[in-house]
């Protein structure tokens, strides 16, 4: 095919000529129009839909500030802590870049958790958006890995001992556990080798995976179209021009919409960076302002707040709790056998798996099952598209009592997060065990409760009230 460059009038602006020159060789305008400029989105988006754009903004903040930090950081066990102090005290505006990066880590999780909550409320994981959801869960897992690897880099007391505890968890895996822990650390204890490995993953490996997943997430989203608060497919009602009647171009409408959200976010973000970067010890723990000391263990070791719900699940799994788990597995298998719509062969497989799990719970250490449950508490999110059997997507048209199920789940999740930063006691352990049952019950019982009750009629067009 012959190369053809669009002809422009001689008096065309220089910018138009430059853009035409690029478009003739690279689809710049086409990419902009396909991905945003002429991408039609439902016109009834509310403020819950700003968190996707905010996640992109925080990702950019983290990459840019991370680049500047790497210019001065030394990934050496003898120099790492001092290099962070050098950034904070001697590098011009280094303290600002470091606090933007540390605050950005927490902001990233806050935004992503709210983004996932919106998907949960409006059924954005339902068909045909299963792949979007799976890419999103992949982003969440990559983000957790990125945060974990980056947490060791300041080489403070909590960084050191937090990494020591988390890596040691892998030793609970039968047969391969000790060797796996040794391979992850690169040494018998957290040391310079560990720091270098974590630095490589944090700066190079995980960001590449994260950027790829973000690109896949956006491409999949724009292929099937965005969901909306009503959970209605706007592509089912097309106008004469081929565009959905209930959709509007993202630019300029949602450009302005998101710009307002960005302004509010940056105001709050700046207030935290300048006035409360430690956020009472939740964003930056006080022990992390002390250099790592392998001979002095902090009195209470806990991960950063965004990991604590899953850490609480781990701590809740005691030897006594195993009996409750065995009873729970047996009851769930019985429920599958008696009340599910699965075929006979699938039920038989479920019964065999349940029996194997129960036997494993009797003979394997509770620490191992704590690690399994901690991992399962994250991975189970990927099963949402197939666990939710509700005839409608949005919470707007579900039975009223469904909202209380979501609220109970939210309370259990926040409680687990709070208990994860507290020193364990018998009472707190009991509460975390109850919340663990509620957390997993929300997902595992979803095939039944999600389709129960009287559902409200779903309109054929989106409900939109101009303002």
CATH number at residue 221: 1.20.810.10
Confirm whether 297 is domain-assigned: no
Across the range 415-427, mean pLDDT stands at: 93
| Confidence bin at 467 (pLDDT 50/70/90) | low
Across the range 255-284, mean pLDDT stands at: 94
Check whether 428 has a pLDDT greater than 70.
yes
Across the range 74-80, mean pLDDT stands at: 95
Give the pTM.
0.94
Instruction: Provide the pLDDT for residue 236.
Output: 87
Structural domain span for residue 434 = 305-449
Across the range 53-68, mean pLDDT stands at: 97
229 and 325 in a common domain: no
Confirm whether 22 is domain-assigned: no
Tens digit of each residue's pLDDT (9 = 90 or more) over 84-140: 999 999 999 999 999 999 999 999 999 999 999 999 999 999 999 999 999 999 999
315 and 257 in a common domain: no
329 and 262 in a common domain: no
311 and 263 in a common domain: no
| Confidence bin at 215 (pLDDT 50/70/90) | very high
82 and 180 in a common domain: yes
| Confidence bin at 3 (pLDDT 50/70/90) | low
SS (H, E, C) the chain: CCCCCCCCCCCCCHHHHHHHHHHCCCCHHHHHHHHHHCCEEECCCCHHHHHHHHHHHHHHHHHHHHHHHHCCCCCCCCCHHHHHHHHHHCCCCHHHHHHHHHHHHHHHHHHHHHHHHHHHHHCCCCCCCHHHHHHHHHHHHHHHHHHHHHHHCCCEHHHHHHHHHHHHHHHHCCCCHHHHHHHHHCCCCCCHHHHHHHHHHHHHHHHHHHHHHHHHHHHHHHHHCCCCCCCCCHHHCECCCCCECCEEEHHHHHHHHHHHHHHHHHHHHHHHHHHCCCHHHCCCCHHHHCECCCCCCCCCCCCCHHHHHHHHHHHHCCCCHHHHHHHHHHHHHHHHHHHCCCCHHHHHHHHHHHHHHHHHHHHCCHHHHHHHHHHHHHHHHHHHHHHCCCCCCCHHHCCHHHHHHHHHHHHHHHHHHHHHCCCCCHHHHHHHHHHHHHHHHHHHCHHHHCCCCCCCCCCCCCCCCCC
Confirm whether 403 is domain-assigned: yes
Check whether 372 has a pLDDT greater than 90.
yes
Confirm whether 111 is domain-assigned: yes
428 and 371 in a common domain: yes
Tens digit of each residue's pLDDT (9 = 90 or more) over 373-390: 999 999 999 999 999 999
Instruction: Provide the pLDDT for residue 24.
Output: 87
| Confidence bin at 1 (pLDDT 50/70/90) | low
Domain tally, the chain: 2
Tens digit of each residue's pLDDT (9 = 90 or more) over 450-463: 999 999 999 988 88
What average pLDDT is seen over the chain?
Answer: 92
């Amino acid at each position: 095919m012959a190369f053809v460059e669009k002809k422009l009038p001689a008096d065309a602006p220089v910018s138009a000529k430059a853009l035409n020159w690029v478009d003739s060789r690279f689809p710049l305008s086409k990419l902009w129009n396909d991905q945003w400029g002429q991408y039609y989105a439902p016109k009834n988006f509310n403020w819950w839909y700003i968190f996707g754009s905010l996640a992109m903004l925080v990702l950019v903040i983290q990459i840019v500030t991370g680049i500047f930090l790497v210019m001065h950081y030394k990934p050496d066990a003898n120099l790492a802590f001092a290099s962070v102090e050098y950034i904070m005290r001697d590098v011009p505006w280094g303290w600002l870049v470091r606090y933007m990066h540390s605050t950005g880590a927490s902001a990233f999780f806050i935004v992503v958790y709210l983004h996932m909550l919106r998907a949960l409320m409006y059924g954005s994981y339902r068909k045909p958006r299963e792949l979007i959801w799976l890419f999103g869960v992949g982003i969440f897992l990559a983000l957790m890995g990125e945060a974990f690897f980056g947490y060791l880099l300041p080489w403070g007391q909590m960084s050191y001992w937090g990494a020591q505890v988390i890596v040691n968890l892998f030793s609970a895996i039968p047969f391969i556990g000790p060797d796996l822990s040794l391979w992850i650390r690169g040494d018998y204890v957290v040391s310079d080798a560990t720091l270098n490995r974590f630095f490589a993953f944090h700066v190079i490996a995980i960001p590449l995976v994260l950027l790829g997943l973000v690109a896949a997430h956006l491409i999949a989203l724009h292929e099937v179209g965005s969901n909306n608060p009503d959970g209605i497919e706007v592509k089912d009602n097309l106008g004469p021009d081929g565009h959905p009647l209930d959709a509007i171009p993202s630019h300029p409408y949602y450009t302005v919409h998101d710009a307002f959200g960005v302004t509010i976010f940056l105001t709050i973000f700046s207030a935290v960076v300048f006035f409360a970067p430690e956020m009472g010890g939740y964003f930056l723990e006080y022990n992390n302002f002390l250099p790592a000391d392998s001979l002095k263990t902090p009195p209470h070791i806990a991960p950063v707040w965004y990991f604590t719900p899953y850490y609480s699940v781990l701590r809740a799994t005691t030897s006594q709790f195993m009996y409750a788990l065995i009873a729970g597995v047996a009851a769930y298998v019985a429920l599958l056998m008696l009340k599910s719509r699965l075929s006979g062969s699938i039920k038989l497989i479920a019964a065999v798996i349940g029996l194997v799990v129960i036997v494993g719970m009797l003979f394997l250490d509770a620490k191992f099952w704590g690690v399994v449950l901690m991992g399962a508490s994250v991975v189970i999110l990927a099963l949402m598209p197939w666990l939710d059997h509700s005839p409608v997507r949005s919470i707007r048209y579900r039975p009223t009592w469904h909202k209380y199920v979501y609220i109970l789940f939210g309370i259990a999740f926040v409680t687990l997060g709070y208990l994860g930063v507290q020193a364990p006691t018998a009472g707190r352990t009991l509460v975390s065990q109850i919340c663990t049952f509620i957390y997993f019950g929300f997902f595992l019982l979803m095939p039944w409760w999600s389709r129960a009750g009287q559902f409200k009629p779903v309109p054929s067009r989106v409900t939109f009230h101009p303002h």
